[in-house]
Amino acid sequence: MNDGIEICRVTGDITLDNVDIYGRDLDVVQLRARVVMVSRKPNPFPKSIYDNAAYGPRIHGMAESRDELDEVVEVSRSRAGLWNELKDRLAAPGTSLSGGQQQRLCIARAIAVNPEVMPINEPCSALDPTATARIEEPMDELRENFAIVIVTHSMQQAARVSQRTAFFHLGEFVEQGSTEEIFTNPTGQRTLDYISGRFG
């Protein structure tokens, strides 16, 4: 995603299955099928609801027939908690949905390619509690199929949806561990101060 940003600087290593994702020999197209990001602001494509969910499987050749594609679209939208709400509106533009529905459509689009890792950046930052709950509900099932890495500033959300928590402060890694340990018995003073609301 940052290939075209001239001022971007990368240090250290980011590996997936012990392979450097910035390595010169890496097939970026395959990487983008294995790691699919959902951004903070919903970004449905200017296409129908159906075509948003079908986009990844189409470009990666994951469906050989319309019936197979229909099934992928239905399964991905069901897993993202959207099927019952939108099953009769597949031709409507994805941009016509509410903010919470747009975010779940973006999640459906991401999971349609069966990624191995799905980073999600602040998925509920602009959503009300009802829309937030609808995004969090499918996460239990989704984590059975792939790794979800969620960035959130909401302590309540981190406690609700995560199994492991890493705490970063001003770009510095502070500590990590099971979510229960981090929230009940953190080893670092900065972590304790943050989760107890002394700063943040």
Between CA 48 and CA 75, with CA 46 as vertex, the angle to 5 degrees is 40
State yes or no: pLDDT of 95 exceeds 90.
yes
Give pLDDT tens digits for 121-174: 998 887 888 888 888 888 888 888 889 999 998 888 999 999 999 999 998 999
173 vs 102: CA distance, rounded Å = 32
Q: What percent of the chain has pLDDT over 90?
A: 57
> Could you tell me the pTM of the whole model?
0.83
Instruction: Give the pLDDT mean for 90-112.
Output: 93
Averaged pLDDT of the chain: 90
Q: How many CB atoms lie within 10 A of CB 21?
A: 15
